[in-house]
Amino acid sequence: MEPTIIINIKNCCGCNLCVLFCSWRRAKYFEPGKAAIQVNKDYKRNRYQIVLDEEKCDRCMLCVAQCPTGTLLKGEK
Amino acid sequence: MTVLLKVDLTSGKIETEDITALQHRYLGGLGINSKLAADLIPPRCSPFDEENVLLVGTGSLVGTLLPTASRTDITSKSPLSGRYGSSNSGGEWGVKLRLAGYDHLAIRGKAKRPAILYIDNGSVYLEEAAYLWGEDTWFTVDWIKENKGNDFEVAAIGPAGENLVAFASIQNNYYDSWGRNGMGAVMGSKNLKAIAIRGSGKIEVACAEYFNKICREAFEKVKNDDSFGWTNKYGSMIASTPYNKIGALPGRNFTRGALDGWEETRGRKIFAEKYKEKSMACHSCPIACSHWSKVKEGPFKNYETKGLEVTFVFEFGAKLDIASIPEIFKCVELCNRMGMDVISSASVIAYLVECCEKNIIKSSDIGFTPTWNDYKGTLKLLHLIAYKEGIGNVLSGGVKRAAGQIPGSEYYAMHIKGVEIPVRDPRAKCDIWSLGYLTNTRGGDHLRARSPVEIFAAGFIDHENEELGLTPEQIDELDMPPALKEKIFGTPPSRVHIPQMIRYAEDLITIINSVGFCIRPPVLRSLGPDFYARALNAVTGSNYTADSVLSAAGKIWELQHHFNQREGETISEYKFPERFYREPLPRLEGKPHPPLSEKNVQNIIETYLKIRKEEI
């Protein structure tokens, strides 16, 4: 069984903390564009999409731990 | 390195300057903007002169993952007050500016034709945008995203800014604003329709190990603050219910502290249960105090929007007594699209309605009869103001100017230093918050002096001292230099000395606005000068201490104060509108709040100004 990240997008508040923690852990600076997780936003309609780069992601689960709304959950596959 | 991008719209010249030295003296954001305003804006120039400079300053911690580090200050000479003007907004716009490689902007001159400033990482250019002139802000943001890329963050003005409405806002994408003080009109006077940013670089941190420690501390303190839960659930709407109960609303142009049916139509519970769909957050914020809402029945069924903020409810809901949340949503949307400050917009309309009630302005002169709880009339007036048509032209300069044109109406013009007063009636409680309206360097506004130990229910010992309401342990834990604790709370701690606390609250908020944090209660209450000094040192490699950040905040205040003095400000302007000294304020239950004592208020202001001259 491998750990995986389950995305419950309807809860996402758009805070970008997942992106920031991912970026920081990988590089020790903030380059959101190079994080393994990205939040694409349609501000006008409040529609969000979270994209996880499975190859880049090393399943550290920091994003899951920091998500304030339960949008990101730890799962297994 | 702190980088200033300088844009001359007249010549088209674009250059950068290393201003790191200013960051070490003036913290960042609002602080650096205040220094640049003092140095670059010529005394006595008109806000609409080419020489006036529009200054943009991202907080120096913005773009990191520190909680709420997302905010940007815009400073210029205000077309509303003619004095120091400043406005603050969150979201992601400032983050993208830093990611593009710039921390501050200084925009001067005037473009020959309407233009957009594009900052696309290292590529900075002006593009003619006559085809967008006249369009509202939402159309403008849509156009830029569709034609230039969805990853552009947009600050845009609407028709109000183009038409030089004195309280025009700059809109931050669709729903957020640099609202107060008419920064949008300065942009309009420069023929600048929008500033669009794409930033995909990086933000570095001077000391990674120390930053980790700071970061853990900040999240722990903010999330463990007592206010965290209710701020997340209700956001600013938490205040809607108690303000009506206590009788502190600015109801019907500050004539009623409470309104019939308020709780059932505009209270926090009905909002949370009937309209709120989910929480929303600014960049890097775990609090998520904003809301996404949906109307589920009635004429606006299925309408969705960001909101509600309590300011919108107090302005359209109380000042104009519009008793329907969906109608308040729509009034705010129109302000956002036209690019106008919600507070000043509602205030000028409330002034007009009261003047019509008192027969100072005749309905026949304006072609219709505006009334309270008049949604359609309010929309009509918002349009007239944005396009400066009919009575809208008179109102577009703000209540002070309107009163100068309409004899006998001055008493109903609720402003301080030319800036319309928001949100709460000082007669309900003349505390740090209320007195902060007077001392605020940007005029009548509530967001630059809020006590980090504010307890709304606390009573007064005398007019200069408020009951403490904190335990000695809580005082010990406060992030505040011990000498200041003694001055403010006494030894042993027994009270809050109001003038001392006004100074401290202003300085604390100045620090917050300079580093780019938010002033929501979980942050305001849990983090203080010592934390901000260490955070600045970790991120920027500065060498700040708690005392030196406070000292910097004091210098920043002095810069703003001197800016105003050189434009002619005197102590006589630190005065509430006459109504607050003359009339009691009715509420639904209990005795009306008595009028304020002018003598007591003036005593506090004099003490405060003396304290301002003291070293910390």
pLDDT at B68: 97
- Residue B11: pLDDT band (50, 70, 90) is very high
Domain with CATH 1.10.569.10 in chain B: 231-413
Q: pLDDT at position B321, please?
A: 98
Mutate to test the interface with B, among A24, A43, A51, A67 (most CBs of B within 10 A): A43
Residues B548 and B328: their CA atoms lie apart, in Å, by 44
| DSSP of B17-48 | EE-HHHHHHH-SHHHHHHHHHHHHSPTT--TT
Categorize the per-residue pLDDT at B472 as very low, low, confident or very high, splitting at 50, 70 and 90: confident
CATH 1.10.599.10 domain range(s) in chain B: 432-613
- Asked if the model's pLDDT at residue B615 lies above 70, the reply is no
Contact B406, B391 (CB under 8 A): no
Report percent pLDDT > 90 for chain B.
92
pLDDT tens, position by position, A36-66? 999 999 989 999 999 999 999 999 999 999 9
Q: ipTM value of the model?
A: 0.96
pLDDT tens digits for B539-568? 999 999 999 999 999 999 999 999 999 999
- Asked if the bond preceding B586 is cis, omega within 30° of 0, the reply is no
Domain(s) labelled CATH 3.60.9.10 in chain B stretch across 3-198
Number of cross-chain residue pairs from A and B with Cβ atoms under 8 Å apart: 65
How far is it, in rounded angstroms, from Cα B297 to Cα B303? 9
Distance from CA of A73 to the nearest CA of B (A): 16
pLDDT over threshold 70, residue B608: yes
Tokens of B324: 């329907």
- Looking at per-residue pLDDT, the higher value among A76 and B32 belongs to B32
CB B585 within 8 A of CB B425: yes
Q: Do B279 and A13 touch (CB under 8 A)?
A: yes
Contact A68 B281 (CB under 8 A): yes
Q: Answer yes or no: is pLDDT of B372 > 90.
A: yes
pLDDT tens for residues B410-430?
Answer: 999 999 999 999 989 999 999
Instruction: Find the closest chain B residue to A31 by CA distance.
Output: B202
Q: Which CATH architecture has domain B231-413?
A: Orthogonal Bundle (1.10)
Give Cα separations from B468 to A31, B221, B480, B484, B607 (angstroms): 45, 22, 16, 15, 20
Q: Which of B103, B138, B145, B280 to mutate to test the interface with A (most CBs of A within 10 A)?
A: B280
pLDDT of residue B609: 94
State the smallest CA–CA distance between residue A21 and chain B in angstroms: 7
Q: Residue A2: what pLDDT?
A: 82
In whole angstroms, what is the distance from residue B336 CA to residue B516 CA? 23
pLDDT band of residue B483 (cuts 50, 70, 90) is: very high
Please provide the average confidence, as pLDDT, over all residues in chain B.
95
* Angle in degrees, 0-180, between the axes of helices B482-489 and B498-515, rounded to the nearest 10: 140
Q: What pLDDT score does B473 carry?
A: 86
Measured torsion, CA atoms of residues B587, B591, B593, B599, in degrees rounded to the nearest 10: 170
**CB within 8 Å of B318: residues ≥ 6 apart:** B249, B250, B251, B252, B259, B262, B266
CATH at A21: 3.30.70
Residue B427: the pLDDT is 97
Amino acid B209: pLDDT? 95
Residue of B nearest to A24 (CA): B65
What is the pLDDT at residue B459?
Answer: 87
**pLDDT score at A1:** 76
Look at residue B613 in the predicted model and tell me its pLDDT. Answer: 87
Tokens, residue B173: 């994408």
Q: Check: CATH 3.30.70.3280 for B3-198?
A: no
pLDDT at residue B228 is higher than 70:
yes
A35 interaction partners in chain B (CB closer than 8 Å): none
Whether B399 shows a pLDDT value over 60: the answer reads yes
pLDDT for residue B589:
86
Contact call for residues A34 and A27 (beta carbons, < 8 A): yes
Tell me the pLDDT tens digit for each residue of B111-156: 999 999 999 999 999 999 999 999 999 999 999 999 999 999 999 9
Task: Out of A11, A33, A43, name the one closest to residue B174 (CB).
Answer: A43
Q: What is the pLDDT of residue B330?
A: 98
pLDDT at B184 exceeding the cut of 90: yes
Q: pLDDT band at B457, cuts 50/70/90?
A: confident
Spacing of C-alpha B498 from chain mean position: 22
Please report, as a single letter, which amino acid is at residue B610: K
Q: CATH: 3.20.20.300, 3.40.50.970, 2.60.40.10, 1.10.599.10. Which one for B432-613?
A: 1.10.599.10
Range of the domain at A58: 3-76
Mean pLDDT along residues B298-319: 96
- For residue B369, give every residue at least 6 positions away whose Cβ sits within 8 Å of its Cβ, in sequence order, or none: B356, B363, B377
| Count of domains observed in chain A | 1
Q: Does the structure show a pLDDT above 60 at B13?
A: yes
